[in-house]
Each structure stands twice: as C-alpha cells, then as structure tokens.
Amino acid sequence: MTTATTVIDEALALPAADRSYVVQRLLVSLDEERELSPAWRDEIERRIARRQRGETRTHTRAEVSHDVESLLAL
C-alpha cells in the first residue's frame, strides 16, 4: 500500500519542473472540492497546459528570494 510519506518522498526526488507539475495538479484537485468560477477553472487549466508544454519556467526559492530582496531594496 502506498502511503502519503512514500508519495512525498518520491515526489521530492523529482526534478523541480516535475515537482511543480505535481503541486499544480494537487492544488487543482483540492480546488475541485470547492466551488470555483468557470473563469478560474479555465485559468487553472491554461496554466497547467502551459506548464506541460514547457512554456513556463520554474524558479528556485533562492531566485525568488533574491528578486524580492532586490525589489524591496529599491
């Protein structure tokens, strides 16, 4: 039987882009339990499709932190 811990351990071993995809899919599954407007559902699906086609790039935590710090220093 697969446990949540096993799934998480396996997901953490994936490359960043694949981990991002997994997170997106999990978030969508949670959103499906809540009422979302059709516009938000369409937006989510567009973002997932763009990610799957490689049209977006992931950013490391360090990159985001650096960018935020740079912006705050202005």
Give the pLDDT confidence of 9-66 residue by residue, as tens digits. Answer: 999 999 988 998 999 888 888 866 677 788 988 998 999 899 889 999 888 999 999 9
Q: Where are the domains of the chain?
A: 4-72
Per-residue exposure over 40-61, b if at least 16 CB sit within 10 Å of its own CB, e if not? eeeebeeeeeebeeeeeeeeee
Residue 67 has pLDDT above 90, yes or no: yes
Model pLDDT, residue 30: 82
Model pLDDT, residue 37: 84
Model pLDDT, residue 32: 64
- The answer to whether the Cα torsion of 8, 11, 12, 17 is positive or negative is negative
pTM metric for this prediction = 0.43
Please state the rounded mean pLDDT for residues 64-71.
93
What CA–CA distance (Å, rounded) separates 16 from 38? 29
State the DSSP code for 1: -
